[in-house]
Amino acid sequence: MARIIVVTSGKGGVGKTTTSAAISMGLAKKGNKTVVIDFDVGLRNLDLIMGCERRVVYDIINVINGEATLNQALIKDKNCNLLSILPASQTRNKDALTLEGVEKILEELSKDFKYIVCDSPAGIETGAHLAMYFADDAFVVTNPEVSSVRDSDRMLGILSSKSRRAERGEEPIKEYLLLSRYSPERVKSGEMLSLEDVQDILSLHLLGVIPESKSVLTSSNAGMPVILDEKSDAGQAYDDIVARYLGENRPHRFIDDKSGFFRKLFGGK
């Protein structure tokens, strides 16, 4: 059976789609047959970052409605033949996603893929709920700012209570922290939360810190997951994250823990 990963946060603009693209590419580059699904119905940005927007003919809603087969909708990645993309629809409403339809797709994908990465939309509505409902692992992406951490904390409550695992009384979803757009310099000047602050609030296992980097935007505009930019800090950070997730012991980089200023705002000790 495939391992289902949801990339989530609750808040928009924190780097979920960038992370979904990088993580899925990283898993595939390490020899794992992987598929990444865009659950952001109505917007659809994953195909842009993956550089396959002109190859989208059918999408996840077409498959759910029986208008196309899963094989027709899946797009093979141009950089790695072990990676496939299932795009979202730009023209349908989020309510077009159904629990039964998503379950059927995941069951079918599980026969052929080792990892299924679900790129969750922002918020806690239908798309976000269905992206996380069947998950085995959750990559919680947060920026080092108060509103982002608060929304991630809320999402943790939903992950622990509204997933299929929770309903069945099974082992909980494994939750991992990915701290994105981190700048040690801005931490030192008191402009953003430190890693220690964020960990005190969320109490999650740290999978990695992604530094602020112009390469993220450059790669996105080029239709290329940033993990393929091996010279960039962000690309290296995502490579470390994938390696740690797969069990490799790598030291954390791009971290500065000296500031604890904001911890007091949250009643931390």
Query: From the first residue on, what is the mean pLDDT of each consecutive set of 10 residues in the chain (269 residues)?
Result: 92 90 98 96 88 94 95 96 94 81 97 97 84 96 93 92 95 96 91 93 95 91 93 96 97 68 45
Q: What is the pLDDT of residue 265?
A: 47
Q: What is the pLDDT of residue 125?
A: 78
Helical packing angle, 16-29 and 233-245, nearest 10°: 60
Q: What is the pLDDT of residue 82?
A: 98
d(CA 258, CA 196): 8
Q: What is the pLDDT of residue 12?
A: 82
Q: What is the pLDDT of residue 263?
A: 43
Q: Which of 106, 103, 107 lies closest to 117, judged by CA? A: 106
Element (H, E) at 86: strand 83-86
Its pTM stands at 0.91
**How is residue 46 written in tokens?**
């994953």
d(CA 102, CA 88): 12
Q: What is the pLDDT of residue 173?
A: 97
**How is residue 188 written in tokens?**
């030192």
Tell me the three state secondary structure of residue 3: strand
